[in-house]
Copies of this chain bind each other. A is one copy, B any other.
């Protein structure tokens, strides 16, 4: 059954809108995702929103009908509102016709099955939600298992990160841990830790990668702490032909991930 909301001051609107802020997401354990393609990707991966919000001005689409049916079958709530209210909720001037509220996933290291994939991406203190979403998207493309966020990273459940992930937040596992938690977890099983580095490194092309390979990239401004680099099993270097001595973090991770994919035969 659909509920209609017409007023900006409706408490549900306030609640949904509050999920744009990290503290409210954390308190509620929920996050927002928008757009029919993204919500359809989510549904096809088994993630049905608890609440589906639809603009009354949306174009009819069988995939919207499928979403609505899935939400109702799962006992969720369907809300119809004006485009203005949807815009207020998602913070976009031209909101896509649908948005959904999802429960945040378990982001503990314990929930990861490292044997499930040959490649894992690991980011340390990654501050930009766009970079974080891009890494999730790259991870999906190379068939990685997921993205492990070390130390103080951007929130993977922010609207910006979810948007930049193009739905990969629903296909990739996401874990969050401190370095002090991550390293013992890594060493408790198989796994090669690899970083792009200028210290004591071998060329990234043809380096002896081994599965499961954990590709570690550092903070956008500072790169990786030396201690973290030195804890790696393999340090590799990429050609730098210009004045720069580094790449954008998400770019470096992607170039490396495609090289590892080639080496490990996908």
Contact = CB atoms under 8 A, between A and B. Distances in A.
A134 interface: yes
Contacts of A167: 243-244
A143 B247 CA distance: 13
B239 A142 contact: yes
B205 A134 contact: no
A176 B238 CA distance: 29
B250 A143 contact: no
Q: How many copies of this chain does the complex contain? A: 2
A79 interface: no
26 contacts: A41-B243, A44-B243, A45-B243, A130-B130, A137-B244, A137-B247, A137-B251, A139-B242, A140-B241, A141-B238, A141-B239, A141-B241, A143-B239, A143-B241, A143-B242, A166-B246, A167-B244, A168-B243, A171-B242, A172-B242, A239-B258, A239-B261, A239-B266, A241-B261, A247-B254, A251-B254
